[in-house]
Amino acid sequence: MFKQAELVKTVFSPGDYPPRLGVEFSFAGRSNVGKSTLLNVLLGVRIAHVSGTPGKTGSVNFYKVDGRFYFVDLPGYGYARRSRVELERWRVLVEDYFAERYEVSFPIVLIDIRHPLQKADITMLDFLRARELPFVTVLTKSDKLSASQLKKMLSVHEKQVLDYGAVAVFPVSAISGKGISELKREISSILGSYSVDRR
């Protein structure tokens, strides 16, 4: 579905962004939720670095897809072992990204389906709701739950994130591939119908 991808910009400073292409899908989530792994599965190529150290990504990474739009990998949040200075730098960078790319950014928020919403998740959802940004929620690591556990946690998360403004919820597994095709179709649908005039 997505045929070509390339890393075109790694941003460490607010405002240092590449030219806009139209809609861009910004992937946000807690450290170690599986953002880089999901990006690699969606794109069908190992392009995003997967680190064994949570909180490693401290930049905003722009991947150009099919020469038409961006997947944007935002710094993982909620990792307590980083210094306050570094965490603050990340916060400023993410807030600046959404302020500068508000008209074109469509957030995709990743949440570990195995756990209730964490404080950092709620902070991000509050941030998006305050800015009236619609978003898609991706519930990662669904392969690690039994069928009954999956049904229970899906229901719990759906009720919460829909209240925050999620337009769709997808349980996925980068290991089994569950939900990946559905998520790709949703991204393609948003891409096809998107207009900057909607905001």
0.75 surpassed by pTM: yes
Look up tokens 């670095």; give the residue: 49
Look up tokens 């095709």; give the residue: 181
14-18, 34-38, 53-57, 154-158: least confidently modelled range: 53-57
Domains (range + CATH), the chain: 5-193 (3.40.50.300)
Q: What is the pLDDT of residue 197?
A: 44
Whole-number average pLDDT of the chain: 89
The helix/strand/coil state of 30 is strand
Task: Give CA–CA dist 107/98, Å, rounded.
Answer: 9
Q: Tens digit of pLDDT for each residue in 133-162?
A: 999 999 999 999 999 999 999 999 999 999
Q: What's the average model confidence in pLDDT over 157-178?
A: 95
Q: What is the pLDDT of residue 79?
A: 60
CA-angle at 10, arms to 65 and 30, nearest 5° = 85
Q: Which residues contact 132 (CB under 8 A, 6 or more apart)?
A: 165
Please count the helices (runs of H) and the strands (runs of E) in the chain: 5, 7
Strands (E), the chain: 5-11, 24-29, 60-65, 69-73, 105-112, 135-140, 166-171
Q: Tens digit of pLDDT for each residue in 42-97?
A: 999 888 876 554 445 578 999 999 999 999 999 888 665 566 777 688 788 999 99
